Structure 1
Amino acid sequence: MHAQHSPPPSAYFKRVGATRFQATEHVGGGWNPAEQHVAPALGLLAHAVETDRDARRSDGLRVARLSYDILGTLPIDIVDIDVAVLRPGRTIELVEARLSHGGRVAVVLRAWLMQQYDTTAFAGNSLPRIAPPEDMPSWSPVSVWPGGFIRSAEVRRHQIEPGRASYWVRTGVNLIEGEPVSATARALGLLDIANGMTPRAAAEDVAFPNLDLTAHLFEPPGDDWLGLDTTVAFGAHGIGLTHSIIHGRGGPIGAVSQCLTVRPRRA
């Protein structure tokens, strides 16, 4: 008799209650594979905000800014989410979502939701476009980082120099098992990868985890590749910044910034 092996999970999270989710092996982190990479959790919080919005109203306010504060690490375990409207409004809302483990809040999201208008006649931007994914070489981030989340990502990258690159990323892993999510939530579940795609220095020499992530979206993401044009800066006093322009197939759609704590590794 051959042993029966369960197939690997097809999603980063499984819903186990109205506001509870079980993380799977795909969320393993780059700094510590036994802890969650926060990227999927950020997508999960965005999904919670959109789900709450749709339960309360039918006009489909668009998520325009998402500002996350990362208060601590998360084990690969069950997490809870609660959502509250901080500033209700007819055309603009400010919503807060909190993700916790064992009663300890680990990530707080504040999201501005805005009414949509037809501004096609005025649309445009002067942000430079990056090459399409088909024109960039495949690159394996597993060559730099461990963890289930990094293994789940497909990347095509044009590296300019350490700390400067443009690249495209996508994943075949669903955000939540058996549950549809928006393209915005899927994109937010990938954006935190930016801090590791073009390091200024080797992780063996210096740690540079981010404390936050703030994304502004002036166009919605698509369902395919997510593009990022990233610059990483380290200051002289232990503080850094990873800043990226977000791209869809049609060009730039927003920006994302991450504040870094830069810590030399001493022998």
Structure 2
Amino acid sequence: MSTQDSLDPSSDSAFSLRSDVPAFYRRLDQDLFAPTIHVQGAWRDDEQHMAPVGGLLIHAIDRHEPRDGMQLARVSFDILGMIPARPSRVAVRTTRPGRSIELVEAVLSVDGRDVVRAHAWRLAAHDSSPVAGVEFEPMPGPDDFPEWDGTDLWPGGYIRGVEFRADPARRPGRTRTWIRTSHALVDAETCSPTADLIRLVDTANGIAVRVSPQEWMFPNVDLTIHLFREPVRGWVGFDTTVTMGTTGMGLTSTTLHDELGPVGRAEQILTVRPMTQP
């Protein structure tokens, strides 16, 4: 453990986002994680992007009282404010135990302040193939779309570490995009295919923007994901629509895909306001 690792995370000691770690986080102890430069947000360079935060919370939920045959069906994240890019602690508890249905809560805190809460329903897996059916439209594969450079629109270490393939017919408020990253979620640890997908899902709010993020702010205050099967690792597909109302609210809606086809849905409610000018 380095000198930096041994710092009291609640102190004001200098903390820097390391760029030499090929992962979003380093584990410092059982429930404390240090973000790296690959977590750096787009609105501010001293915040964490919500996408890897979501993956980290799911990784913690996966490791909490695991049982064979249980699968994550829904997770709802409430974002309580800016997520500082500092050592982050994760606490997990079961709030509704059950043999076939259970609810688990995970909370991420920074410097003693809760910043993200997650509530996840885990359901027992069983054979429902006789009645299976999917009505979501399929997407062309990642090889069918050209590369897109997300850094042309967004700054930050997170975006720099993500590879994009975007539909050439994309327009403001509407896109189909494939995303992947080579960065592990937690250094030297393997996460589940579900955590592997969820660590990218919050990116949806930045790929089909209706207005310039240099002129308007439209951060999401939540993220809710429903899955109807376990995803497979690899590219994550986003079939995304962004809607903005007239009273400062918006909605980003996404059908999620893996390379086998549709896998679920994601919704993000937005607070829309003009960018404060200096």
Taking a change above 3 Å as real, the CA distance of residues 182 and 200 of structure 1, as seen in their structure-2 partners, is same
Q: Contact (CA 8 Å) 2:74, 2:224: kept in 1 or not?
A: yes
Q: In structure 1, what is the Cα distance between the partners aligned to 2:261 and 2:84?
A: 36
- Give 2:27's aligned residue: 15
Whether 2:221 is the aligned partner of 1:211: answer yes
Taking a change above 3 Å as real, the CA distance of residues 7 and 196 of structure 1, as seen in their structure-2 partners, is closer
Q: Contact (CA 8 Å) 2:47, 2:82: kept in 1 or not?
A: yes
Whether 2:137 is the aligned partner of 1:125: answer no
Partner amino acid for 2:268?
A: Q
CA offsets per residue over residues 48-73 of structure 1, 9 Å max, x none?
1110032xxx3241000000000011
- Give 1:105's aligned residue: 114
Partner amino acid for 1:260?
A: L
CA offsets per residue over residues 172-210 of structure 1, 9 Å max, x none?
000000011011011111000000011000011210000
Q: In structure 2, what is the Cα distance between the partners aligned to 1:132 and 1:105?
A: 39
Q: In structure 2, what is the Cα distance between the partners aligned to 1:8 and 1:122?
A: 49
Q: In structure 1, what is the Cα distance between the partners aligned to 2:230 and 2:42?
A: 28
CA-atom RMSD in angstroms: 1.2
Work out which of the residue numbers 12, 19, 31 in structure 1 matches 2:43: 31
- Give 1:46's aligned residue: 58
Q: Contact (CA 8 Å) 1:63, 1:113: kept in 2 or not?
A: yes
TM-score (norm 2): 0.91
- Give 2:196's aligned residue: 186
- Give 1:3's aligned residue: none
Quote how far apart the aligned CAs of 1:78 are. Answer: 0.6
> Percent identity among equivalent residues?
42
Whether 2:225 is the aligned partner of 1:229: answer no
Taking a change above 3 Å as real, the CA distance of residues 156 and 202 of structure 1, as seen in their structure-2 partners, is same
- Give 2:14's aligned residue: none
Query: What runs of 5+ residues in structure 1 fail to find an aligned partner?
Result: 1-5
The 5 Å alignment of 1:1-267 reads 8-54=20-66, 58-158=67-167, 159-265=169-275, 267=277
TM-score (norm 1): 0.94
Quote how far apart the aligned CAs of 1:7 are. Answer: 7.0
Q: In structure 2, what is the Cα distance between the partners aligned to 1:90 and 1:119?
A: 18
Q: In structure 1, what is the Cα distance between the partners aligned to 2:115 and 2:55?
A: 14
Q: Secondary structure at the residue paired with 1:146?
A: coil
- Range that drifts further, 61-70 or 218-227: 218-227
Q: Contact (CA 8 Å) 2:175, 2:241: kept in 1 or not?
A: yes
Q: In structure 2, what is the Cα distance between the partners aligned to 1:83 and 1:183?
A: 20
Q: In structure 2, what is the Cα distance between the partners aligned to 1:13 and 1:200?
A: 31
- Range that drifts further, 159-168 or 131-140: 159-168
Q: Contact (CA 8 Å) 2:19, 2:37: kept in 1 or not?
A: no
Quote how far apart the aligned CAs of 1:75 are. Answer: 2.0
Deviating 4+ runs (over 4 angstroms)? none
Partner amino acid for 2:59?
A: H
Quote how far apart the aligned CAs of 1:266 are. Answer: 5.2
Q: Contact (CA 8 Å) 1:53, 1:60: kept in 2 or not?
A: no
Partner amino acid for 1:155?
A: F
Quote how far apart the aligned CAs of 1:126 are. Answer: 1.3
Q: Contact (CA 8 Å) 2:243, 2:251: kept in 1 or not?
A: yes
Taking a change above 3 Å as real, the CA distance of residues 266 and 31 of structure 1, as seen in their structure-2 partners, is closer
